[in-house]
Amino acid sequence: MRGRQYISVLDLSRDETLEVLQVAQHLKLERKAGVRTSDILRGRTWVMLFEKPSLRTRATFEVGIRELGGHTFFLGPQEVGLGKREPVKDVVRNLARWVDGVFARVYDHNVFKTFREYAPSLSVINALSDLEHPMQALADFQTMIEESGDLGFHLVFIGDGNNVANSLMLMSALLGSDFTIATPEGYEPPKEIVEKALELAKKTGARINVVHDPKEAVAHADFIYTDVWASMGQEAEAEERRKIFAPYQVNSDLLRFAPQHAKIMHCLPAHRGEEITDEVIESDRSLVFEQAENRLHTIKAMLIMLS
Ligand code: CP
Ligand code: NVA
């Protein structure tokens, strides 16, 4: 997988994705046994190119690449101004002369098309775009596989058909897990994502559903997932969305309609009192910090596979 890109969940095959997850689990066990350092990425440099804020994605990348013996440096919006100070095609052709890989968090997913066109041999990982958050989905699948032992679970996403939901839907379809999303009308994942998921699901046997009733959605859930109602870049819509999404809060009332064993997930950061209550996110059913921990193991695994 050397020199490959991971922009979308669909950039890796089912087998390749499972291999990354296996490597991540191996790294997790190794780290728990006290083995933290290796020189597998010695002499390699990746840049973090971020247009938006981050805690988990940036911190786990930095810790992960150090533990693998590689180097990284951070370029935020003030330094680069992707497409503002300089055209994207120039930024990427500069970076390609110096670094082995780019870990990029961007607003517009189409930026990655320009990366591919102008620097086809540069390794690129999507650290979140308006369309997908594939590294989050990988960590979440590691978490769910650890919890349930296999891929035969039903993941239910309540809320906005956003980047995180899109990647989770695609990964469910790719790996053969059942996935349901309950959104307000008009906030479903984009049609092309749903179509791709349904097409893949035919091969893998995953059942993919898009519904509007959160109570119906959680009835057979093994995992109940939510994310913010207004993603980074949608701040102007936050007020309006708070009203529209109010019936989609993951709270103890909604959980009365879910199986007792269903676990709670959130990619974080969470807006307590909006998409999820403090009581639910702090409950012993919550996996949010397991998910956050697994961001480290999955990014390390991905770096090893792409290097
Ligand atoms: N879940 C996640 O990507 O968190 P950050 O935005 O803090 O990186
Ligand atoms: N959907 C959220 C995820 C943050 C990790 C956003 O894009 O802001």
CATH number for the domain spanning 33: value is 3.40.50.1370
Match 């979140």 to its residue by tokens: 128
Determine the pLDDT at residue 157: 99
Same domain, 114 and 179: no
Domain enclosing residue 242, as ranges: 136-292
**What is the number of domains present in the chain?**
2
| pLDDT for residue 2 is more than 90 | no
Which conformational region is residue 43 in: left (phi greater than 0), alpha (psi within -120 to 50 degrees), or beta?
A: left
Determine the pLDDT at residue 83: 86
Same domain, 117 and 151: no
Which atom from ligand 2 is nearest to the alpha carbon of 57?
5
**CA–CA separation, 218 vs 76, rounded Å?**
39
Same domain, 301 and 288: no
224 lines ligand 2 (CB under 6 A): no
Confidence grade of residue 4 (pLDDT, cut at 50, 70, 90): confident
Determine the pLDDT at residue 255: 98
Same domain, 16 and 146: no
Question: Strand order of the sheet with strand 154-158?
Answer: 208-211, 178-182, 154-158, 223-226, 263-266
Same domain, 280 and 231: yes
The DSSP bridge pattern shows strands 123-126 and 5-6 to be: parallel
| pLDDT for residue 55 is more than 80 | yes
Same domain, 10 and 60: yes
Same domain, 47 and 182: no
**Would you please indicate which residues are annotated as catalytic (active-site) residues?**
105, 133, 136, 227, 267, 295
Nearest residue (CA) to ligand 1, atom 5:
54
Same domain, 146 and 126: no
Same domain, 78 and 151: no
Same domain, 124 and 51: yes
Query: Interhelix angle for 111-118 vs 88-98, to 10°?
Result: 50
Same domain, 125 and 79: yes
